[in-house]
Amino acid sequence: MMVLASYVLVTLAIAYAVLYLLFRCERFVSVSTMLISFLLLIYGPAYLVYMVWHLPISAVDKEISQSAHFSDVTVALNLAIALMFISVTAGIELVNRLMPAAVLSTRDRLRNWSDKPLASIPSGEVWLLGIGLLLSAFMFWISYREHHLQILLGYLSVPGDEFAKIVYRQNHGGSHVYLYNLAAGTFAPMIIVWAGLVAWGRRSWMLAAVTALLLAATILGKLETLNKAPIVLFILQLLLVGYLLFRNNLDWRVGLLGVGVAFLIFIPIFLIAIPGMRPSDAFEFFYYRAFDFSNAALMEYFGAFPWRLDHMWGGNLRVLAAIVGWKWEPSYDLVARVWRSVDGTHTTAMFIADAWVDFSYFGVVIYSLVAGALCRWIDLSLLREGKTAMSVAVLAASFIGIYNLMISALPTSIVTGGLGLPIAVVLIQHFERRRWRTIVDGGSLEAIESKERS
pLDDT score for 446: 47
pLDDT score for 160: 61
How far is Cα 3 from Cα 56, in angstroms, rounded to an integer? 17
**SS3 call for 313:** coil
Q: How confident is the model at residue 436 (pLDDT cuts 50, 70, 90)?
A: low
pLDDT score for 437: 66
Give pLDDT tens digits for 156-170: 787 766 677 778 888
Give pLDDT tens digits for 393-403: 999 999 999 99
How far is Cα 174 from Cα 225, in angstroms, rounded to an integer? 4
Higher-pLDDT residue of 253 and 399 is: 399
> What single string gives the DSSP state of each residue in 17-43?
HHHIIIIIS-SS--HHHHHHHHHHHHH
Average pLDDT of span 223-239: 90
- Say which residues have a Cβ less than 8 Å from residue 268's Cβ, sequence separation at least 6: none
Helices (H), 383-419: 389-405, 410-415
Give pLDDT tens digits for 379-420: 999 998 889 888 999 999 999 999 999 999 999 899 888 888
Q: How confident is the model at residue 120 (pLDDT cuts 50, 70, 90)?
A: low
Average pLDDT of span 210-230: 92
Q: Which range is most confident: 58-67, 260-269, 335-344?
A: 58-67
pLDDT score for 451: 42
pLDDT score for 125: 82
Q: Print burial letters for 29-47: b (CB count within 10 Å at least 16), e (below 16).
A: bbbbbbbbbbbbbbbbebb
Angle between helix 188-202 and helix 205-224 axes, rounded to 10 deg: 160
Burial class (CB in 10 A: 0-12, 13-18, 19+), 155: middle
**SS3 call for 315:** coil
How far is Cα 131 from Cα 82, in angstroms, rounded to an integer? 43
Residue 218 has pLDDT above 90, yes or no: yes
How far is Cα 208 from Cα 214, in angstroms, rounded to an integer? 10
Q: How confident is the model at residue 450 (pLDDT cuts 50, 70, 90)?
A: very low
pLDDT score for 324: 84
Q: How confident is the model at residue 354 (pLDDT cuts 50, 70, 90)?
A: very high
pLDDT score for 447: 46
Q: How confident is the model at residue 445 (pLDDT cuts 50, 70, 90)?
A: very low
Chain center to CA of 136:
24
The lowest-confidence range among 21-25, 34-38, 122-126 is 122-126
Residue 240 has pLDDT above 50, yes or no: yes
**What percentage of the chain reaches a pLDDT higher than 70?**
93
Neighbour count for residue 351 (Cβ, 10 Å): 26
Average pLDDT, the chain: 88
Give pLDDT tens digits for 78-116: 999 999 999 999 999 999 999 999 999 999 999 999 888
Q: How confident is the model at residue 265 (pLDDT cuts 50, 70, 90)?
A: confident
Neighbour count for residue 424 (Cβ, 10 Å): 12
- How many angstroms separate the Cα of 110 from the Cα of each of 115, 173, 350, 387, 417? 10, 41, 29, 8, 26
Give pLDDT tens digits for 185-208: 899 999 999 999 999 888 889 999
pLDDT score for 5: 96
- Please choose, from the candidates 295, 292, 135, 150, the residue with its C-alpha nearest in 3D space to the C-alpha of residue 216: 135
